[in-house]
Structure 1
Amino acid sequence: MARRGFQDQLVSLEEDVLYMSELVSERLRMGLSALEQKDRELAMEVIEGDDEINSLYLKLEGDCIDLLALQQPVAGDLRFVASSFKVITDLERIGDLATNLGTYTLDAERDVYPDVDVQAIGDMTVEMIEDAMTAYENEDPEACFAIADRDDELDRLCERASEIVVRDLIESEIEDGEDVESTMADVSRLLLTIRDLERVGDHAVNIAARTLYMVENSDELIY
């Protein structure tokens, strides 16, 4: 009977981790939409919603600690709980990066560098998170490697986008009367946005790496 209760706790933990991932992915989408539309109300919703993600993280952290301390799982169950703890940590950090997008929206003065498709990069990161969580749910090692491979593509897109911004800034001539400080602030915001989206991809790979460890006891993607 005790064992059945323990298995129920494991199922509940998985369901809660998946729910947290859905919440985080939705907040990231909202942050991207706020940035694209310069929607200050939506940006504030993302920023204020970070408390919900943090509270859920702390709750699940406590659940993982209780399972480790009180149930003392072994082998596969131990890897599942330990990996789930790592997954929620990455999800919480993605939530922080989504909050950053909300803050950048509030600070934005104008559109800069339309040649840099931030939304396409953002869409890719959301897909990577969702694919990583599907791999976690389905215990799919092949999908874990696919996510790691896709991160290389994301890194190239982010590097190219940053190069465009920096090159254009170097080559541009500030017109008379143009607010240099405002221009530099907008450029800095865009570079930070690109950097944060690249970090979201890194967290998706971390989730895939922990999933691979959970399923096959392999640390190949962790290092």
Structure 2
Amino acid sequence: MARNTYQSRLNQLEEDVLYLSELAAERVRYALDALEDKDERKAQEVIEGDHEINRIYLDLEQDCIDLLALQQPVAGDLRFIAASFKIITDLERIGDLATNLAQYAIDAENDVFAEVDIRRIGDAALDMVDQAMDAYESEDTDLCRSVAERDDDLDAMCDTASQSIVRDLMSGDDFEGDGDLDPETALVDVRRLLLTVRDLERIGDHAVNVAARTLYMIDNDDSLLF
């Protein structure tokens, strides 16, 4: 699309940021599918696709720099560009976390702790990302605050899952009937599962960052930034 006017460049920046968010969220969903189905092909697709997210991120970073340097925006436009610049960093990191999840899917050797619902946690984190980007697109301050409030629920889900993994490991109530699983392999699988939970929690944290920057963009309100 030709960018002939300042306003069209701002509009295009918004569209491109939204596209990056869709791509990053899609990668996370693919990675969750790979974990759930033990689909190494899909996991590899996520890993190989990370370069596309990085390329788009760098292009958008340059767009933001150009708009700041060449147009010298003020007031609302300045906050929009600055917020977009920060938000794309969070989206790129969500893409990185999707790559982590895909690698865990490749590395997984056994089913352990089936009572830990990784898909449920992942879907909750992704829903926060979607809601944060809806707030960015619609400039909805209530949605921004809702994302921040939901972070406590996601943290609680992740804490419960991690505690369950550690408790069952310590008590020996583990590994879904894999009684002949040697301790070293078991610990590797447990570590992978704990990292999976941690990375899903981080996706939620990035969603909160997006909501915080969006709230500042809309109302010059920094209450979610600290």
The TM-score, its normalising length taken from structure 2, stands at 0.95
Q: What amino acid is the match of 1:159? A: D
Alignment RMSD: 1.3
Once the two structures are superposed, the pairs formed by residues 90-169 of structure 1 within 5 Å of their partners are: 90-169=90-169
Q: Once the 2 structures are TM-superposed, how far is the Cα of residue 180 of structure 1 from its aligned partner?
A: 1.2
Q: Once the 2 structures are TM-superposed, how far is the Cα of residue 193 of structure 1 from its aligned partner?
A: 0.2
- Aligned partner of 2:84 in structure 1 is 84
Q: Residue 90 of structure 1 aligns to a residue in which SS?
A: helix
Q: Residue 199 of structure 1 aligns to a residue in which SS?
A: helix
Q: Residue 62 of structure 1 aligns to a residue in which SS?
A: helix
Once the two structures are superposed, the pairs formed by residues 27-46 of structure 1 within 5 Å of their partners are: 27-46=27-46
Q: Once the 2 structures are TM-superposed, how far is the Cα of residue 176 of structure 1 from its aligned partner?
A: 7.7
Count residues in correspondence: 220
Q: Once the 2 structures are TM-superposed, how far is the Cα of residue 195 of structure 1 from its aligned partner?
A: 0.2
Q: Residue 212 of structure 1 aligns to a residue in which SS?
A: helix
Q: Residue 5 of structure 2 aligns to a residue in which SS?
A: helix
Structure 1 pair 147–177 and aligned structure 2 pair: CA distance change class (3 A)? closer
> Does residue 211 in structure 1 map to residue 214 in structure 2?
yes
Question: 2:203 is matched with which residue: 191, 200, 212?
Answer: 200
> Does residue 220 in structure 1 map to residue 208 in structure 2?
no
> Take 1:181 and 1:86, find their aligned partners in 2: how far apart are those partners?
41
> Take 1:176 and 1:109, find their aligned partners in 2: how far apart are those partners?
14
**Moved beyond 4 Å, runs of 4+:** 173-177
> Take 1:141 and 1:128, find their aligned partners in 2: how far apart are those partners?
14
- Aligned partner of 1:20 in structure 2 is 20
**Per-residue CA distance 1:16-40 (angstroms, 9 max, x = gap):** 0000001111111000000000000
Q: What amino acid is the match of 2:193? A: L
> Does residue 73 in structure 1 map to residue 73 in structure 2?
yes
> Take 2:149 and 2:116, find their aligned partners in 1: how far apart are those partners?
22
Unpaired runs of at least 5, structure 2: none
> Take 1:177 and 1:152, find their aligned partners in 2: how far apart are those partners?
38
- Aligned partner of 1:170 in structure 2 is 170
> Take 1:178 and 1:34, find their aligned partners in 2: how far apart are those partners?
23
> Take 1:77 and 1:109, find their aligned partners in 2: how far apart are those partners?
50
> Take 2:114 and 2:106, find their aligned partners in 1: how far apart are those partners?
19
Q: Percent of pairs identical after alignment?
A: 61
> Does residue 187 in structure 1 map to residue 190 in structure 2?
yes
- Aligned partner of 1:62 in structure 2 is 62
> Take 2:107 and 2:181, find their aligned partners in 1: how far apart are those partners?
18
Q: What amino acid is the match of 2:211? A: A
> Take 2:173 and 2:148, find their aligned partners in 1: how far apart are those partners?
40
Q: Once the 2 structures are TM-superposed, how far is the Cα of residue 45 of structure 1 from its aligned partner?
A: 0.1
Q: Residue 109 of structure 1 aligns to a residue in which SS?
A: coil
Q: What amino acid is the match of 2:75? A: A
Q: What amino acid is the match of 1:208? A: A
> Take 1:192 and 1:176, find their aligned partners in 2: how far apart are those partners?
23
> Take 1:130 and 1:169, find their aligned partners in 2: how far apart are those partners?
34
